Amino acid sequence: MLTFAFRKLLTLVGTMIGIAALTFLITNVAPGDPARLVAGPNATEDMVATIRTEYGLDKSLPEQFIVYMGELVRGDLGTSIVTTRPVLEEVMRYAPATLELVFVAMFLGIVIGVPLGMLSAVYKDGPLDQVTRIFSISGVAIPAFWFGILLQLVFSVDLEWLPVSGRLPLVTRPPEFVTGLLLVDSLIAGNFATFWTSLQHIILPAIVLSFPCLASILRVNRAEMIEVLQSDYIVAARAHGISSFRIVALYALKNAMLPTLAMIGLRFGWMLGSTVLVETVFDWPGIGLYAVSSALSSDFKPVVGVTLMIGFFFIVANTLVDLAYAWIDPRLRKA
Q: Could you tell me the smallest distance in angstroms from the CB atom of residue 324 to other proteins? A: 13
In the chain the first and final C-alpha atoms are separated, in Å, by 9
Segment interacting with other proteins (CB under 8 A) among 40-48, 71-79, 150-158, 322-330:
322-330
| C-alpha radius of gyration, the chain, whole number | 24
User: For residue 43, what is the DSSP state?
Assistant: -
Contact between residue 313 and residue 99 where contact means Cβ atoms under 8 Å apart: yes
Residue 52 Cα distances to 34, 38, 58, 66, 327, angstroms: 8, 9, 6, 17, 51
Q: How far apart are CA 145 and CA 136, in angstroms?
A: 17
Among 244, 283, 297, 316, binds other proteins (CB under 8 A): 244
For residue 133, count other CB atoms closer than 10 A to its CB. 16
Q: How far apart are CA 228 and CA 172, in angstroms?
A: 50
Task: Please say which residue, 138 or 244, places its beta carbon nearer to other proteins.
Answer: 244
- Rule CB under 8 A: is residue 323 a binding residue for other proteins? no
Task: Please say which residue, 7 or 85, places its beta carbon nearer to other proteins.
Answer: 7
Contact between residue 321 and residue 257 where contact means Cβ atoms under 8 Å apart: no
Q: How far apart are CA 36 and CA 17, in angstroms?
A: 28
Q: Could you tell me the smallest distance in angstroms from the CB atom of residue 129 to other proteins? A: 15
Q: Could you tell me the smallest distance in angstroms from the CB atom of residue 251 to other proteins? A: 6
Size of the site for other proteins (CB under 8 A): 23
- Rule CB under 8 A: is residue 328 a binding residue for other proteins? yes
- Rule CB under 8 A: is residue 242 a binding residue for other proteins? yes
For residue 165, count other CB atoms closer than 10 A to its CB. 17
Task: Please say which residue, 244 or 297, places its beta carbon nearer to other proteins.
Answer: 244
Q: Could you tell me the smallest distance in angstroms from the CB atom of residue 195 to other proteins? A: 38
Among 28, 140, 246, 297, binds other proteins (CB under 8 A): 246
- Rule CB under 8 A: is residue 190 a binding residue for other proteins? no
Among 9, 14, 254, 297, binds other proteins (CB under 8 A): 254
Residues 197-236 that bind other proteins (CB under 8 A): 231-233, 235-236
Q: Could you tell me the smallest distance in angstroms from the CB atom of residue 328 to other proteins? A: 6
Contact between residue 129 and residue 116 where contact means Cβ atoms under 8 Å apart: no
Interacting residues toward other proteins by CB under 8 A? 231-233, 235-244, 246, 251, 254-255, 328-331, 334-335
